Amino acid sequence: WAEKLDQLTDTATKDPEGFLGHPVNAFKLMKRLNTEWGELESLVLKDMSDGFISNMTIQRQFFPNDEDQTGAAKALLRLQDTYNLDTDTLSRGNLPGVKHKSFLTAEDCFELGKIAYTEADYYHTELWMEQALKQLDEGEVSSADKVYILDYLSYAVYQQGDLPKAMMLTKRLLELDPEHQRANGNMKYFEYIMAKEKEANKSSTDSEDQMEKETEVKKKDYLPERRKYEMLCRGEGLKMTPRRQKRLFCRYYDGNRNPRYILGPVKQEDEWDKPRIVRFLDIISDEEIETVKELAKPRLRRATISNPITGALETAHYRISK
């Protein structure tokens, strides 16, 4: 209806007198603006919102929930730790090998910081709140509020033992919002703690001062196994002597004279000696790979775990896979 009306209007406005000089056009104009306009009014005034809301309510049950969002955020933080990625690199989307570059807004960074805060992970809270603040300071337009960010950030810094920095951040918060109740209370508390520490420092020995400095700020630490695992993920710590490396070869593998491989031997490459790790190359073609994917995709289902109490199978939000 709209397209037809646009076409008519375009023709009519170019030459109104000539257009309406045709009696059929004059009649159709009267009909359009009288009878047909009433039909348009009833169409426009019809309330479609009930059906829309009903449909949205049905679809909403298949949407992600808070646990899914928290799980995705925690996965991002794990990747950050494993691959030693700084927040700015992650936020700007400057990751190697990505096809679709995506960046995080100041509000996204703030949300990541909040999720870390909820988990009492003050190390990541500090990282992501600082990134959100940095992007706002650089002029990014956002709904994220500096006051809220500084509130979370100062507390996270305090929880990690860096009292001077926590005080500096709280002062900055109070410059933006002098009436902020919690910040004013924290400032008085921080000043009280600082005064007590100064008194304690006067009576403490040099060795005690050194111990205090060593334990003042501690980065989040893991078990030795976790550290080794992260190093392996980054390709660190894997060193082989030149003598051992000379014993690694590439070859065509015939499967111990297996008839299938005599005509089409497989490319084989030594990756490691002890334990022996071998890489096979070009085992199947790209077309065969696509066929496997097409057959597999319709059969994929959300992975489940066994409930430790009931034994029943249920989905796990901390491990999302198919």
Residue 209 is predicted with a pLDDT of 52
CA 237, distance to chain mean position in Å, is: 28
Residues 112-149 pLDDT 10s:
999 999 999 999 999 999 999 999 999 999 989 999 99
Residue 113 is predicted with a pLDDT of 95
Contacts of 60 (CB under 8 A, 6+ apart): none
Handedness of CA 144, 146, 147, 150 (dihedral sign): positive
Given a contact cutoff of 8 angstroms between Cβ atoms, the answer to whether 162 and 213 are in contact is: no
Place of tokens 């085992």: 283
Question: Which two tokens mark 76?
Answer: 């991002």
Residue whose entry in the numeric block shows the structure tokens 């002098």: 178
- pLDDT band at residue 208 using 50, 70 and 90 as cut-offs: low
- Would the pLDDT of 66 be above 90? no
Q: Is residue 80 a contact partner of residue 91, using CB atoms and an 8 Å limit?
A: no
Tokens of 68: 């899914």
Residue 277 backbone phi and psi in degrees, to 5: -125, 125
Tell me: the pLDDT tens digits for 71-120?
Answer: 889 889 988 988 888 899 889 888 877 777 788 999 999 999 999 999 99
Q: How much is the pLDDT for 214? A: 46
262 in Cβ contact with 254 (< 8 Å): yes
pLDDT interval class at 217 (50, 70, 90): very low
Under 8 Å CB-to-CB from 286, ≥6 apart: which residues? none
Mean pLDDT along residues 200-205: 67
Distance CA 206, CA 202 (A): 10
Q: Which helix (H) or strand (E) holds 210?
A: helix 206-216
Q: Quick one: angle between helices 146-159 and 181-203, nearest 10? A: 30
Q: SS3 for 241?
A: coil
Question: If you average pLDDT over each of 31-35, 74-78, 92-96, 231-235, which comes out highest?
Answer: 74-78
**For the chain, what is the radius of gyration of the CA atoms?**
33
Write the DSSP string, 165-199: HHHHHHHHHHHH-TT-HHHHHHHHHHHHHHHHHHH
pLDDT for 179 equals 93
Nearest one of 116, 89, 117 to 103, comparing CA atoms: 89
Pinpoint the alpha helices (H) of the chain: 2-14, 16-20, 23-31, 37-45, 49-60, 66-82, 87-92, 106-118, 122-137, 146-159, 163-176, 181-203, 206-216, 224-233, 242-245, 259-263, 286-296
Q: Does residue 304 carry a pLDDT above 50?
A: yes
User: Rounded to two decimals, what is the model's pTM?
Assistant: 0.63
